[in-house]
Amino acid sequence: MATAMGKGDSKKYVDELYEKVARRWQARVSDSPFMQKLRSGALSREALRLFFKNWGSFTIEINTVEAASYHKHIAFFRKHRDLMGPMAQKLADELIHPKPPGHVHVVVETARALGIAEDEIFLSPMLAEFRAHIDFKRAILWEGTVAEFYAAGATEEQIGYWSADFFKALTTHYELTRDQAVYFSTHEEADLKEHEGVLGHGTFRRMVLQRLLEDGMAETRPGYAMEYCAMTSVDLYGVILQAVLNAVERGEDR
């Protein structure tokens, strides 16, 4: 087992990890060429459409990874029963809000506004870089430890801030209404704020990481330290944004 930490030390560790994630996110995602173009309105409609077609498909699969994690990590939650309720609420939020099968509905609403058909979201193959990101998370889930998985998920808080940037750009420069850009407003709220009694998803992940550290359960494999897992996840978000620009430059429409 890993060495157990006191509550003060565990909070300090998690806060520092999240600060590192935020700095890396700023450098690799917020300041990326894709996001700079998006915020200024210079990103082409073609690139925006290609991104969201792949992103919509990505979100469907990444949510199933989250659902599978409850089964994989059930021993931890059986021990820490006070976290079972928030975990169930988090999964329900993703899978039944605003109605089953969940956030897929808001994906489709925003896709429709961008001229993307449902089959393009549900059935089209993803760009390789999007697939690689999902496969990294899947590998961490099934081959790694619970600490590795929750460290890799430390990006969820940043996804909330990123969603706010995306929402502002779409409604400012790309003529989408607030209702049409609903995917991004939904995720800003879900990831950052308590909503309808559900903890913000970022807050929940912080709680789990702290509890793992306090319980001496923050074990990792050689080469998969928690900071590595967190930073790799950030980097892969940067990679998928650049992949879209590269594909458009090559004239690909996948």
How far is 211 from 6, CA to CA, in rounded Å?
10
How far is 111 from 92, CA to CA, in rounded Å?
22
How sure is the predictor about 194, in pLDDT bands with cuts at 50, 70 and 90? Answer: low
Structure confidence at residue 190 (pLDDT): 57
Domains identified in the chain, total number? 1
User: How many residues are listed for the chain in this entry?
Assistant: 254
Please classify residue 242 by burial: count the beta carbons closer than 10 Å to its beta carbon, then call 0-12 exposed, 13-18 middle and 19+ buried: middle
pLDDT, average across residues 194-216:
82
Q: Name the residue with higher pLDDT: 127 or 186.
A: 127
CATH number at 176 reads: 1.20.910.10
User: By residue range, what is the domain housing residue 231?
Assistant: 7-250
1 within domain boundaries: no
Share of the chain above pLDDT 70, in %: 94
27 within domain boundaries: yes
Quote the pTM value. Answer: 0.92
Q: Name the residue with higher pLDDT: 93 or 71.
A: 71
Q: What is the dihedral of CA 167, 172, 175, 177, to 10 degrees?
A: 50
Structure confidence at residue 254 (pLDDT): 65
Contact 78, 202 (CB under 8 A): no
pLDDT in tens, 218-229: 999 999 999 999
2 within domain boundaries: no
49 within domain boundaries: yes
Structure confidence at residue 195 (pLDDT): 47
HEC readout, the chain: CCCCCCHHHHHHHHHHHHHHHHHHHHHHHHCCHHHHHHHHCCCCHHHHHHHHHHHHHHHHHHHHHHHHHHHHCHHHHHHCHHHHHHHHHHHHHHHHCCCCCCCHHHHHHHHHHCCCCHHHHHCCCCCHHHHHHHHHHHHHHHHCCHHHHHHHHHHHHHHHHHHHHHHHHHHHHCCCCCCCCHHHHHHHHHHHCCECCECCHHHHHHHHHHHHHHCCCCCCCCCCCHHHHHHHHHHHHHHHHHHHHHHHHHCCCC
pLDDT in tens, 130-175: 999 999 999 999 999 999 999 999 999 999 899 999 999 999 999 9
pLDDT in tens, 5-33: 999 999 999 999 999 999 999 999 999 99
How far is 157 from 145, CA to CA, in rounded Å?
21
Position 198 pLDDT exceeds 70:
no
Contact 235, 159 (CB under 8 A): no
43 within domain boundaries: yes
209 within domain boundaries: yes
Mean model confidence pLDDT for the chain: 92
Contact 249, 139 (CB under 8 A): no
